[in-house]
């Protein structure tokens, strides 16, 4: 852990008018620093490390979908969480990606200070790069604490973002099939 991080959290406590010496806060700067490092551990990972060679030959050229991959990220504007799920699809062209690697790619990018729009694009681009797929689609639906806990305080708002690459962008039928399979199109 960066040794300066707990000191910065101590200063934050002082800055909001708290007493970092009171019983309940004695270890808070150290705990908060450890939590922030964990929540931002995506910076320590690379796409190659996450995939770890889990790309397998396959004759399948049909859509592969992983739905409801939960994600937890921090808004880069307020350092508050946004929590949601990603739906990821790709159309293989000779190689398929190990199933858990899709969730790990989502986590790697989500565990960085982010905005949801960029997170969606990063996941789609990474899947495309690794698989050389004919198309990639990513939809993320998330609730943002910066909207719920402060500012406009809208408790039931959900932000949806999508990125469609290759066949998902070019073909209405392919895009529609994906959206229908994830329950987003009637």
Instruction: Give me the catalytic one of 8, 44, 77, 170.
Output: 77
* Catalytic site includes residue 40: no
Residue 53, classed as helix, strand or coil, is coil
CA-atom Rg of the chain in angstroms: 19
Active site residue 77: yes
> In this predicted model, what pLDDT tens digit does every residue of 52-73 receive, in sequence order?
999 999 999 999 999 999 999 9
pLDDT digits (tens, 9 = 90+) for 130-141: 999 999 999 999
Other CB atoms within 10 Å distance of the CB of residue 25: 16
Cβ neighbours, 10 Å, residue 120: 22
Give the tens place of pLDDT for each residue, 140-152.
999 999 999 998 9
The C-alpha atoms of residue 35 and residue 57 are separated, in whole angstroms, by 39
Each residue of 15-38: pLDDT tens digit? 999 999 999 999 999 999 999 999
In order of their start, the domains of the chain are 4-41 (1.10.286.10), 54-183 (3.30.1130.10)
Q: Annotated binding site for Zn(2+): which residue ranges?
A: 75, 78, 146
Task: Based on the residue annotation, tell me whether 144 is a catalytic residue of this protein.
Answer: yes
From 75, 87, 114, 128, active-site residue: 75
* Whether 76 is catalytic: yes
How many whole angstroms separate alpha carbon 72 and alpha carbon 41?
12
**Active-site residue flag, 75:** yes
């Amino acid at each position: 852990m960066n040794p300066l991080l707990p000191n910065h959290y101590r200063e934050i406590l002082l800055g909001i008018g708290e007493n970092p010496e009171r019983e309940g806060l004695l270890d808070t700067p150290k705990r908060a620093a450890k939590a922030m490092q964990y929540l931002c551990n995506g910076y320590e990972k690379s796409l190659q490390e996450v995939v770890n060679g889990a790309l397998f030959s396959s004759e399948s050229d049909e859509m592969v979908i992983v739905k409801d991959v939960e994600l937890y990220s921090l808004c880069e504007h307020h350092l508050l969480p946004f929590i949601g799920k990603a739906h990821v699809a790709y159309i293989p062209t000779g190689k398929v990606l190990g199933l858990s690697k899709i969730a790990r790619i989502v986590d790697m990018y989500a565990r960085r200070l982010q905005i949801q729009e960029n997170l969606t694009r990063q996941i789609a681009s990474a899947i495309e790069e690794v698989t050389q797929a004919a198309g990639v689609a990513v939809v993320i639906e998330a609730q943002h604490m910066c909207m719920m806990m402060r500012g406009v305080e809208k408790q039931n708002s959900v932000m949806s973002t999508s990125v469609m690459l290759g066949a998902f962008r070019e073909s209405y039928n392919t895009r529609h099939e994906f959206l229908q399979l994830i329950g987003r199109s009637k």
